[in-house]
């Protein structure tokens, strides 16, 4: 009689343990899926997401550096009085760039260097004002009379320095295939924004080689991509029959799209008037080359390239009309990111099983 309770306990435990284990396993899988969803949702929301940053100020205003209130764009007087140049950090064909200081904050002051290119400078300012969003560097002020623009400072600089930055000990943890793919997604997101901007379909013309493309974009401290230079951004208007040409000189090399190259052979001298115009699909042609730079040669990057092979092949179609839109490329990139993160999470799920 005394052994009966002992027998009952031994009979009951083997039935109870599997039920508890199964419940814990299901809870762990649900938690893993929830974390995966939150992770993906944090970086790339649904396709209908708002183009402007929710924290962005009304037109003509800005805020940055943790300040809660919006301030009006700085005027000529305020820039002359309150902004102090520290050192020259770059110079291009159109403008010279100075690291500067405003109210103990680092900022960037850009000034026209070639009076013959003042129209390009003013066009860039016009674009910068009109396109303020999470894809574009923040405008802090300007002075048209003095051809001066004030923008937010990003210490990591242009994308040309990406590989150098990722080898700094502080940032080595960022040097992974998924972080690099997210930078490529940011880049394609900027192209998609320009192709469907509030002003219409804009073409990124300052993009005749990879180094030039990378110089147009900034890497933020939280590892996102912003377009910084909008001096050469012509408008395509198909309904009005308006296409574009990126400059008035002959473009060469495999990096530029086929339709951007002189179509009449070496025997016919280049003439700008005879050069046919083109549309925004020139930007699509360049996406695979830029993304290849982003992906680098880290563990897993070749797997990413394999998954992007088809869409990149479509981007390189000789006929511009057969290339995908920037939105279609972006959709594919996001799907690949989601798929690969899920696949990376599967081994942990199998171990629990």
Residue 288 pLDDT greater than 80, yes or no: yes
Task: DSSP letter for 115, please.
Answer: G
**pLDDT, position 43:** 47
Query: Class of the 154-345 domain?
Result: mainly alpha
- 80 has pLDDT over 50: yes
- pLDDT at residue 46 is higher than 60: no
Which band of pLDDT confidence, cut at 50, 70 and 90, is reported for residue 177?
very high
Q: Please report, for the chain, the start and end positions of each structural domain, with discontinuous segments joined by +.
A: 70-153, 154-345
Q: Percent of the chain, pLDDT > 70? A: 82
The better pLDDT of the pair 241, 258 is held by 258
Lowest mean pLDDT among 54-63, 294-303, 327-336: 54-63
- Asked if residue 26 has pLDDT above 90, the reply is no
pLDDT tier for residue 32 given thresholds of 50, 70 and 90: low
**Contact, 296 vs 174, CB < 8 A?**
no
In this predicted model, which residue has the larger pLDDT, 6 or 111? 111
E strand segments, 124-277? 139-143, 148-152, 201-202, 217-219, 225-227, 235-236
> How far is 117 from 112, CA to CA, in rounded Å?
8
Question: Superfamily for 70-153?
Answer: Phosphorylase Kinase; domain 1 (3.30.200.20)
CB proximity list for 37: less than 8 A, separation 6 or greater: none
Residue 151's H or E segment, with its range, is strand 148-152
Q: Average pLDDT, stretch 109-129? A: 94
Instruction: Work out the pLDDT band at 100, boundaries 50, 70, 90.
Output: very high
- pTM value? 0.85
Spatial CB neighbours of 8, under 8 Å, sequence gap ≥ 6 = none
Residues 322, 314: contact at Cβ < 8 Å?
Answer: yes
Q: Which residue has the higher pLDDT, 65 or 105?
A: 105
Rg (C-alpha) for the chain, rounded Å, is 26
**CA dist list (Å): 116 to 94, 127, 147, 205, 228:** 9, 19, 12, 19, 22
Bigger pLDDT: 194 vs 16: 194
| Region of poorest pLDDT, from 81-95, 141-155, 308-322 | 81-95
Whole-number pLDDT of residue 10: 47
With cut-offs at 50, 70 and 90, classify the pLDDT of residue 48. Answer: very low
Q: By mean pLDDT, which of 3-17, 45-59, 219-233 is the weakest?
A: 3-17
Under a CB-based contact definition with an 8 Å cutoff, are residues 62 and 129 in contact? no
- pLDDT of 56: 79
Q: What tokens appear for 212 in the block?
A: 């030039």
Closest CA to 313 of 332, 338, 294, 293: 332
User: What's the average model confidence in pLDDT over 65-92?
Assistant: 92
Please state, rounded to an integer, the average pLDDT across all residues of the chain: 88
| Sequence-ordered list of residues with C-beta below 8 angstroms from that of 123, at least 6 positions apart, any chain | 230, 231, 232, 233
Confidence class of residue 7 from pLDDT cuts 50, 70 and 90?
A: very low
pLDDT digits (tens, 9 = 90+) for 204-223: 999 999 999 999 999 999 99
Q: Are 295 and 301 in contact (CB under 8 A)?
A: yes
């Amino acid at each position: 009689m005394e052994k009966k309770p002992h027998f009952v306990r031994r009979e009951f435990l083997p039935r109870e343990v599997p039920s508890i284990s199964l419940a814990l396993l299901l809870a762990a899988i649900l938690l893993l899926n929830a974390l995966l969803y939150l992770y993906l949702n944090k970086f790339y929301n649904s396709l209908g997401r708002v183009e402007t940053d929710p924290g962005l100020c009304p037109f003509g205003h800005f805020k940055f550096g943790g300040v809660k209130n919006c301030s009006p764009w700085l005027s000529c007087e305020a820039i002359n009085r309150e902004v102090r140049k520290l050192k020259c950090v770059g110079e291009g064909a159109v403008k010279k760039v100075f690291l500067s200081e405003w109210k103990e904050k680092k900022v960037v002051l850009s000034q026209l260097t070639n009076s013959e290119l003042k129209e390009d400078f003013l066009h860039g300012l016009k674009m910068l004002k009109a396109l303020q969003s999470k894809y574009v560097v923040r405008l802090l002020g300007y002075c048209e009379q003095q051809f001066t623009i004030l923008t937010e400072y990003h210490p990591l600089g242009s994308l040309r320095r990406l590989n150098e930055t990722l080898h700094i000990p502080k940032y080595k943890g960022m040097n992974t295939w998924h972080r690099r793919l997210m930078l490529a997604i940011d880049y394609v997101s900027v192209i998609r924004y320009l192709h469907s901007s509030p002003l219409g379909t804009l073409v990124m013309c300052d993009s005749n080689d990879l180094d030039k493309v990378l110089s147009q974009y900034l890497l933020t401290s939280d590892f996102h991509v912003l377009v910084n230079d909008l001096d050469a951004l012509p408008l395509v208007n198909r309904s009005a029959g308006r296409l574009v040409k990126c400059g008035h000189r002959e473009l060469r090399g495999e990096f530029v799209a086929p339709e951007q190259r002189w179509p009449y052979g070496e025997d016919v001298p280049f003439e700008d008037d005879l050069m046919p115009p083109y549309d925004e699909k020139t930007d699509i042609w360049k996406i695979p080359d830029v993304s290849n730079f982003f992906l680098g040669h880290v563990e897993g990057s070749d797997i990413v390239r394999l998954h992007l092979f088809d869409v990149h092949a479509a981007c390189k179609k000789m006929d511009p009309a057969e290339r995908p839109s920037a939105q279609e490329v972006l959709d594919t990139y996001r799907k690949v990111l989601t798929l690969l993160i899920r696949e990376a999470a599967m081994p942990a799920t199998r171990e629990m099983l």
